[in-house]
């Protein structure tokens, strides 16, 4: 922490200033998080009341729970696909926006705005285009001989939620990539060009390595997004179906807790998600602290 | 750029136009669909705008889309209150705690900082049931305070203000002290006016965050007239035993996109600036 030379001295004012933030943090963040961790080690009786300690039982039960393991696998596929799609499309667009001398600003403004669209609303927009009865794209696919019905076909449902989730995230990634590309010194590119490197080779040997801090940052952001923020997409588009084909972990936690009322099981699943996000946050901060540059 | 001839000048524009199509197509479809009757959307998708634009928007705003569910005007109002409450709340309590952490020495200062930091790792999805329980115990379900207060702790906003305060020169504080200004006066007359850009940038990011929340309003509200537009649209889409009224749903979707979009457009400069800092 950078220290300041000049500070005020006052007995209660600083406490009063941090108090609201700490109160909200303690009541709505730390206490529920503590409760979550504790209840992951308990089993609750069918009608509340009697609770008893079961150690790691809730966790081992997850390991034996086929539908949870399935959901785990689904989440990995969904997150990897969403992240890769969002990163690659936005990088492609940013590289081209950086190359387009004319109109770069216009492109930037027109490509950035879907960031304002809620994931759930993005889901509704894509659902409309791809719903089997009136969807424009669904009918076009049928016309091309692809029988499209994501309400029956799990793979198609997955494609739909990945498209909707990535669509919104492209805008966010695009802004970061473009900013990073604009800070690559043009003298480097020119030097490589003089040495006879073509545009593609220059991109992979010079530009892409220079972008790696941004890419890593966005990779973490997109993973967190696809793990947690996409709940709205799933709930509006597929509700986890068909046959659990899009039942990602956050959706499963919600179902186990609020629909199934299995408190211990839901808490154990929450703890697994907690470990995941703690890992990613620590990784990100160590990376930012280290500021890896090439 | 190095190459300046032929194809290499055209290709970027082709790729970008394809990108614009990808980004703009779903919205164009939504706008067109929201101007037709439900019957017009069955069969071939209309290529042009219909004549029911105003009818459809008036209908959803005043009556909602299905028999049940609140009118969209109510949901928009709830979303607005929630988004403003969250963004303003986060800014106020974060600027206060950042000011305390940077400009004062007090016991457990380091601990306070770490406790705030920890919230980054605890999104509502990983502590969902107990958080619901706390809100229920405090009788905050189905209320604006329940939608807003539990979310106004913000590590990101606190870090951003702290970062910004470190860039202010120490001489500023020394000069203020010589003039006899106390900590509150210094805050009001110097720090707050200087923080305007940071506040604006944060407002954009947090307004969009608040407006777009889905899971939180879903669990803390049960009454229809408390639902927000982003989660309320789900009840229009998922209807049992009947075809969804897509013209009305698309009108609702457009209305749900409009407010955060306007914030982005009118505060574009601050918005882009806010991207310099990581957002959570």
Q: What is the pLDDT of residue A199?
A: 82
What structural domains and CATH numbers belong to chain B?
34-274 (1.10.3720.10)
Smallest Cα–Cα separation from B152: which of B93, B216, B70?
Answer: B93
- CA distance readout (Å), A114 to A109, A188, A236, A293, B246: 10, 33, 18, 30, 21
Q: What is the pLDDT of residue B65?
A: 66
A98-149 pLDDT, tens digit each = 887 677 778 888 888 888 999 999 999 999 999 888 888 988 888 888 888 8
- Token readout for A102 is 């004319």
A235-274 pLDDT, tens digit each = 999 998 898 899 999 999 888 888 877 788 888 999 999 9
Q: What is the pLDDT of residue A251?
A: 92
The reply to whether A25 falls in a domain is no
A283–B contact, CB cutoff 8 A: no
CA dihedral B233, B279, A278, A251 (to 10 degrees): 10
CB contact under 8 A, B272 and A120: no
Contacts of A271 in chain B (CB under 8 A): 126
Residue B181 has pLDDT above 90, yes or no: no
Residue B273 has pLDDT above 50, yes or no: yes
Owning domain of residue A244: 57-290
CB contact under 8 A, A128 and B246: yes
> Which of A23-27, A186-190, A234-238 shows the lowest mean pLDDT across its residues?
A186-190
Q: What is the pLDDT of residue A291?
A: 54
Query: How many domains is chain A partitioned into structurally?
Result: 1
Confidence of residue A285 (pLDDT cuts 50, 70, 90): confident
Strand partners, A8: B104
What is the least distance, in Å, from the CA of A223 to any CA of chain B? 12
Contacts of B96 in chain A (CB under 8 A): 17-18, 20-21
Smallest Cα–Cα separation from A270: which of A257, A285, A284, A286?
Answer: A257
> Count of H helices and E strands in chain A?
15, 2
Tell me the CATH number at A231: 1.10.3720.10
Q: What is the pLDDT of residue B25?
A: 92
- B161-180: average pLDDT: 88
Confidence of residue A167 (pLDDT cuts 50, 70, 90): very high
User: Choosing among B15, B19, B41, which should be mutated to test the A contact, i.e. which has the most A CBs within 10 A?
Assistant: B19
CB contact under 8 A, A136 and B45: yes
- A215-220: average pLDDT: 90
- B220-230: average pLDDT: 91
Residue A280 has pLDDT above 80, yes or no: yes
> Which of A93-97, A153-157, A286-290 shows the lowest mean pLDDT across its residues?
A286-290
Q: What is the pLDDT of residue A3?
A: 58
CB contact under 8 A, A110 and B130: no
CB contact under 8 A, A100 and B12: yes
Residues 206..235 of B with a Cβ closer than 8 Å to A: which? Answer: 208, 211-212, 214-215, 218-219, 230-231, 233-234
CB contact under 8 A, A22 and B97: yes
B19–A contact, CB cutoff 8 A: yes
The reply to whether A86 falls in a domain is yes
The reply to whether A72 falls in a domain is yes
Q: What is the pLDDT of residue B270?
A: 66
Confidence of residue B279 (pLDDT cuts 50, 70, 90): very low
The angle at the Cα of B27, spanning B225 to A90, to the nearest 5 degrees, equals 115
What is the least distance, in Å, from the CA of B79 to any CA of chain A? 12
Q: How far apart are CA A184 and CA A186, in angstroms?
A: 6
Looking at per-residue confidence, does B143 or A185 come out higher?
B143
CA-based nearest residue in chain B for residue A177: B275
- B114-134: average pLDDT: 88
Residues 92..151 of A with a Cβ closer than 8 Å to B: which? Answer: 92-93, 96-97, 99-101, 103, 107, 109-122, 124-129, 133-134, 136, 139
A47-100 pLDDT, tens digit each = 556 677 888 888 888 888 888 899 999 999 999 999 999 999 999 999 998 887
Strand ranges inside A12-123, DSSP E: 42-44, 51-53
Q: What is the pLDDT of residue B274?
A: 57
Residue B280 has pLDDT above 60, yes or no: no
- B165-179: average pLDDT: 88
Residue B106 has pLDDT above 70, yes or no: yes
Mean pLDDT, chain A, rounded, equals 87
- A18-42: average pLDDT: 92
Q: Which of A187-201, A247-261, B146-160 has the highest mean pLDDT?
A: B146-160
- B199-221: average pLDDT: 92
Count the Cβ atoms, other than its own, within 10 Å of residue A71: 25
Q: Indicate the residue of B93, B130, B208 with minimum beta-carbon distance to A36.
A: B130
- Token readout for A208 is 């892409």
Contacts of B110 in chain A (CB under 8 A): 1
The reply to whether A237 falls in a domain is yes
Confidence of residue A183 (pLDDT cuts 50, 70, 90): confident
What is the least distance, in Å, from the CA of B94 to any CA of chain A? 7
Confidence of residue B278 (pLDDT cuts 50, 70, 90): very low
Q: What is the pLDDT of residue B50?
A: 83
- B105-125: average pLDDT: 87
Q: How far apart are CA A203 and CA A189, in angstroms?
A: 9
Q: What is the pLDDT of residue B218?
A: 92
Contacts of A186 in chain B (CB under 8 A): 1
Q: What is the pLDDT of residue B6?
A: 67
Count the Cβ atoms, other than its own, within 10 Å of residue A213: 16
Q: Indicate the residue of A7, A25, A27 with minimum beta-carbon distance to B134.
A: A27
Residue A293 has pLDDT above 80, yes or no: no
Q: What is the pLDDT of residue A227?
A: 92
């Amino acid at each position: 922490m950078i220290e300041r030379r000049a500070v005020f001295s006052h007995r209660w004012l600083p406490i009063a200033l941090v108090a609201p933030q700490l109160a909200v943090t303690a009541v709505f963040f730390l206490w529920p998080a503590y409760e979550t961790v504790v209840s992951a080690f308990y089993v609750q009786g069918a009608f509340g009341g009697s609770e008893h300690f079961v150690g790691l039982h809730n966790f081992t039960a997850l390991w034996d729970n086929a539908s949870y393991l399935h959901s785990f696998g689904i989440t990995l596929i969904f997150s990897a696909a969403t992240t890769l799609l969002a990163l690659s499309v936005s990088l492609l667009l940013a590289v081209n926006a950086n190359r387009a001398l004319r109109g770069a600003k216009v492109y930037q403004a027109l490509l950035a705005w879907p960031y304002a669209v809620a994931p759930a609303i993005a889901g509704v927009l894509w659902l409309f285009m791809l719903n089997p009865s009136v969807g424009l794209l669904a009918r076009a696919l049928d016309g091309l001989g692809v029988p499209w019905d994501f309400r029956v076909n799990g793979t198609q449902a997955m494609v739909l939620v990945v498209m909707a989730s990535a669509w919104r995230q492209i805008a966010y990634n695009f802004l970061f990539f473009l900013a990073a590309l604009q800070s690559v010194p043009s003298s480097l590119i020119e030097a490589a060009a003089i040495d006879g490197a073509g545009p593609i080779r220059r991109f992979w040997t010079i530009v892409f390595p220079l972008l790696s801090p941004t890419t890593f940052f966005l990779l973490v952001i997109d993973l967190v997004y696809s793990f947690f923020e996409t709940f709205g997409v799933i709930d509006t588009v597929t509700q986890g179906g068909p046959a659990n084909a899009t039942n990602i972990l956050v959706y499963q936690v919600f179902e186990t807790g609020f629909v199934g009322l299995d408190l211990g099981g839901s808490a154990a699943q929450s703890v697994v998600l907690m470990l995941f996000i703690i890992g990613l946050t620590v990784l990100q901060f160590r990376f930012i602290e280290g500021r890896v540059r090439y | 750029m190095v190459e300046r001839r032929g194809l290499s000048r055209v290709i970027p524009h082709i790729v970008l136009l394809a990108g614009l199509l990808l980004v703009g197509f779903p919205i164009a479809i939504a706008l067109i669909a929201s101007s037709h009757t439900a019957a017009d959307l069955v069969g071939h998708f209309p290529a042009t705008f219909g004549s029911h634009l105003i009818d459809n928007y008036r209908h959803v705003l005043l009556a909602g889309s299905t028999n049940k569910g609140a009118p969209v005007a109510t949901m928009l109002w709830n979303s607005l209150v929630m988004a403003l409450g969250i963004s303003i709340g986060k800014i106020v309590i974060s600027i206060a705690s950042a000011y305390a952490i940077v400009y004062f020495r007090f016991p457990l200062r380091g601990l306070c900082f770490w406790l705030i930091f920890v919230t980054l790792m605890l999104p509502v999805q990983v502590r969902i049931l107990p958080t619901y329980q706390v809100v229920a115990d405090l009788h905050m379900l189905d209320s604006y305070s329940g939608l807003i207060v539990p979310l106004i702790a913000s590590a990101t906003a606190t870090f951003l203000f702290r970062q910004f305060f470190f860039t202010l020169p120490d001489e500023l504080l020394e000069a203020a002290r010589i003039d006899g200004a106390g900590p509150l006066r210094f805050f009001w007359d110097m720090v707050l006016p200087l923080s305007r850009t940071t506040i604006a940038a944060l407002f954009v990011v947090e307004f969009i965050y608040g407006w777009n929340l889905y899971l939180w309003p879903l669990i803390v509200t049960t009454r229809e007239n408390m639902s927000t537009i982003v989660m309320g649209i789900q009840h229009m889409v998922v209807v049992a035993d009947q075809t969804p009224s897509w013209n009305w749903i698309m009108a609702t979707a457009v209305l749900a996109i409009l407010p955060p979009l306007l914030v982005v457009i009118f505060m574009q400069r601050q918005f882009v600036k806010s991207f310099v800092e990581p957002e959570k």
